[in-house]
Amino acid sequence: MLVVMQAHATAEDIRRVCDKIEALGYRAHSIPGAERTAIGITGNKGEVEPGTLEEMPGVQEVIKVTKPYKLVSRDMKEENTVISFPGTDATFGGPGLAVVAGPCAIESREQAFSIAERVERAGAQFFRGGAYKPRTSPYSFQGLGEEALKIMAEVRQHFGLKIVTEAIDHESLELVAEYADVIQIGARNMQNFSLLKKAGRTRKPVLLKRGMSATLEEFLMAAEYVMSEGNYQVILCERGVRTFADHTRNTLDLSLIPAVQRLSHLPIIVDPSHGTGKRNKVTPMSRAAVAVGGDGLIIEVHCDPDKALSDGMQSLYPDQFDELMAQVRQIASVVGRMVPRIGARTAAGTVSDRH
Ligand code: PEP
Ligand code: MN
């Protein structure tokens, strides 16, 4: 159920409706929109008796939400969710595109700094890098753990880039939530429901990757898990799905972008690195991702991909990332978007003006 408040409803009206919902034993999710606030009701097994709520001051109507996902849905919030980062111009879901770039895994301070320096100069606002890697083989590099998180905190301090990194389990999530600006939940964990709920109890934005064989509905339900715990800052990410195609590592399903945008107000970005698994396909698919209306990109970049400890084959050289950014900026302008600068201060205390 969804309580739609009148445009002129007061904060007090909204609070009273939330209190009433909670008193009935349900959970109230008050989500303000441009014109009105909607209050989602979760935790109910069946239908909530609308009568009592309908009569309360400031209530316009009580609507039954028929879709299995509620908080994620455009029924709940018509306009796009914009996730912003105070002190910067970067957003997910705003008119500006979000660009997240960096290595698959943090391997050393030197490796991270040399890549960060290049991606920041090229115009990325976010730095990615795995501290905890979900690897197919237990013998592959598993990540540097907290040491990598510390390196990324230094990267943020030095370059002003915001940090995106993956949590693979409950233990790592606690540390990631402490250090990162955005918590990534990987494809392999898209239906790790207890991890989703734990991420939902943090107040950091969550970058949720689509599972390798997840349907659109399963993907949105995973986002609903995070939101149902009260964290409304969810960013979806298409990263390719398993198909019979063997010319790429995964099949990047770009048709998901407009499909999600019809149903949900959440921002959605594209990962053409894991989506193709091949360096030479990352830039063309990035152009397509922006053209189709994606809210941003997440790209793997490495200064020496041949020696990378993970995903070297799909990592761009920094020069290729420069070229990608130049092309993305052109496509962005065609679809009415742009790539904002991070706008953060450098360690020296001056606004970066190298762009
Ligand atoms: C990654 O971003 O490095 C990663 C492991 O991604 P995914 O979960 O999409 O495979
Ligand atoms: Mn990777």
Residue 254's identity, in one-letter code, is L
Report CA(324)–ligand 2 centroid distance (Å): 18
Return d(Cα 6, Cα 195) in angstroms, integer.
36
Q: Are 305 and 103 in contact (CB under 8 A)?
A: no
Q: Which residues contact 240 (CB under 8 A, 6 or more apart)?
A: 212, 248, 249, 250, 251, 252, 253, 271, 274, 275, 276, 277
Cα-based angle 291, 297, 298 (whole degrees, multiple of 5)? 155
Tell how far the Cα of 313 is from the centroid of ligand 2, in angstroms. Answer: 10
**How far apart are the CA of 326 and the centre of ligand 1, in A?**
25
Q: Which ligand is nearest to the CA of 298?
A: 1
Dist CA 9 CA 57 (whole Å): 8
Pocket flag, ligand 1, residue 209 (CB < 6 Å):
yes
Q: Which residues of the chain have pLDDT under 50?
A: 344-355
What pLDDT is recorded for position 154? 98
Which of the listed residues 219, 253, 271, 311 should we mutate to test ligand 1's pocket, taking the one with most ligand atoms within 8 A of CB?
271
Euclidean distance between CA atoms 240 and 116, whole angstroms: 25
pLDDT for the residue numbered 65: 87
**Strands 268-270 vs 91-92: parallel, antiparallel or unpaired:** unpaired
Residues forming a β-bridge with 297: 99, 270
Ligand nearest to the CA of residue 300, numbered in listed order: 2
Structure tokens at 264: 């949900």
Please enumerate in sequence order all residues whose Cβ is within 8 A of that of 320, keeping only pairs 6 or more positions apart, or say none.
Answer: 279, 282, 283
pLDDT for residue 258: 98
CB of residue 279 inside a 6 A radius of ligand 1 = no
Distance between alpha carbon 209 and the CA centroid of its chain, in Å? Answer: 8
Length of the chain equals 355
The SS3 of residue 91 is strand
Q: Tell me, what DSSP letter sits at residue 344? A: P
The pLDDT of residue 355 is 39
Closest approach atom of ligand 1 to CA 128: 2
> Which long-range CB contacts under 8 A does 92-96 form with residues at least 24 apart?
92/205, 92/235, 92/267, 92/269, 92/295, 92/296, 93/235, 93/266, 93/267, 93/295, 95/336, 95/337, 95/338, 96/337, 96/338, 96/339, 96/340
Q: Which residues of 217-252 are buried (b: 16+ CB within 10 A; e: fewer)?
A: eebbbbbbbbbbbebbbbbbbbbbbeeeeeebbbeb
Q: Is 143 close to ligand 1, i.e. is its CB under 6 Å away?
A: no
pLDDT on residue 354: 39
Q: Count Cβ atoms within 10 A of the Cβ of residue 113 and give its class: 0-12 exposed, 13-18 middle, 19 or more buried.
A: middle
Ligand 1 binding pocket mutation candidate from 140, 169, 239 (most atoms within 8 A of CB)? 239
